[in-house]
Amino acid sequence: MTLSMTQPDETAATRELANVLIVDDVPQNLVAMEALLARDDIRILKAASGPEALELLLVHDVALALLDVQMPEMDGFVLAELMRGSHRTRDVPIIFLTASPNDPARSFKGYETGAVDFLHKPIDPRIILGKVDIFVQLYQQRQQLKSQNARLERALQLNEAMIAVLTHDLRTPLSAITLCADRIRDEIGDGALARTAQHVESSARRMARMIDQLLDFSRIRSGVIRLDLANHDLGALAEAVVEETRQAFPARAIEVSVRGETLGHFDSTRVSQVLSNLLGNAVQYALGSTPIVLEVDGVDVATLRVRVRNAGVLPANLVQRIFEPFKGSFHQSRGLGLGLYIVDQFVRAHGGTVEARNVEDGVEFEVVFPRHAPR
């Protein structure tokens, strides 16, 4: 028995309190409407005139406004038009209440001023209670959604800040691990311990790439990526990235070809990372010993194109999602799945596009961006 008595109060306490504005120049009508609508999750705001209602609307957020049409100085239609003209109150639902005979012309005028309903006095209490309940529930649901979105946004910002801090702090010990492994290899030469040191160094470099990807992901999500645009040679840049990849993966054959004029105006650091991520992805997923091919195409006067091709097949269910974060890797042990997402974001920042597709001799990624990237 005790539980059933306290439960309604607990439910009401969890609801968002909603303000309902009643505007009527007859005091008895205000008192009657307030008594009719009184309940725990509603606060009644009463105004005897249009100017008084506007003052209340400047202070309070309102779930619903019940406006009497016939009032001196400022009638309900004028008040509704003023409410619709204000950014703060233009979305407040309005129900007109009138004692005048049913006149279609007046009803149309009410709807033109933004009313959601037009009720004639005397009003059936069940009708007004039902309509008020609907709009109060909608208001409470909107407030709950706003609160949930705000909490999620704060949590997302906190997570991104933690990622940025953690990845930044991981760089120092990781650099020490890489340097120590490299020194051990130099001092020992060949042997089992040297091979172990090489594995340590390889794993440390792989972790460093993951950290770089997490930092880029955090910057992209925070909207702080800025492009340092300057004149560069995409062909020469591709050759340098290919050489770095060959050194990191000496067992994998990589071919590069350059056609046309490859000079452009772009961010060389970001474009280098695009090429490096595409080549790294190709190295990870290439099948057999077929060489990976990187083509730079500068034949078109307005655009620059890059194609990276490797032997293999792209799963059909991944083609449309491959550039989404954490979905670009269909083997979880091979990376975070951020490399292709970063490629897509950096290419978009240059005003370009990137596409993945299956071709006759394997998988191909094609990047197209303007020769002169927009600022």
Query: Does residue 291 belong to any structural domain of this protein?
Result: yes
What confidence score (pLDDT) does residue 11 get? 45
Distance CA 79, CA 113 (A): 9
Query: Does residue 10 belong to any structural domain of this protein?
Result: no
Q: What is the pLDDT of residues 208-232, one digit of tens each?
A: 777 777 777 776 766 667 788 999 9
What confidence score (pLDDT) does residue 162 get? 72
Query: Does residue 136 belong to any structural domain of this protein?
Result: no
**29 and 60 part of one domain:** yes
Query: Does residue 69 belong to any structural domain of this protein?
Result: yes
| SS3 assignment, position 323 | coil
Token pair of 359 as six digits = 């071709």
Choose among 200, 206, 207: nearest CA to 182. 200
**78 and 208 part of one domain:** no
Dihedral over alpha carbons 222, 155, 327, 370 (to 10 degrees):
-10
Q: Which domain holds residue 306?
A: 230-370
Distance CA 354, CA 365 (A): 7
Q: What is the pLDDT of residues 282-331, one digit of tens each?
A: 998 899 889 999 999 999 999 999 999 999 998 888 888 899 887 655 44
**203 and 237 part of one domain:** no
**261 and 354 part of one domain:** yes
What confidence score (pLDDT) does residue 110 get? 65
Query: Does residue 82 belong to any structural domain of this protein?
Result: yes
CATH number reported for the structural domain that contains residue 26 in this entry:
3.40.50.2300
What confidence score (pLDDT) does residue 107 get? 62
Q: How many domains does the chain have?
A: 3
Does this model's pTM top 0.75? My answer is no
CATH number reported for the structural domain that contains residue 190 in this entry:
1.10.287.130
Mean pLDDT of residues grouped by 10 in the chain (375 residues)? 38 67 92 90 92 92 90 87 88 85 63 76 87 90 88 77 71 81 80 80 76 73 78 96 88 94 94 92 90 96 96 86 71 64 91 94 94 86
Beta carbons of 91 and 111 less than 8 angstroms apart: no
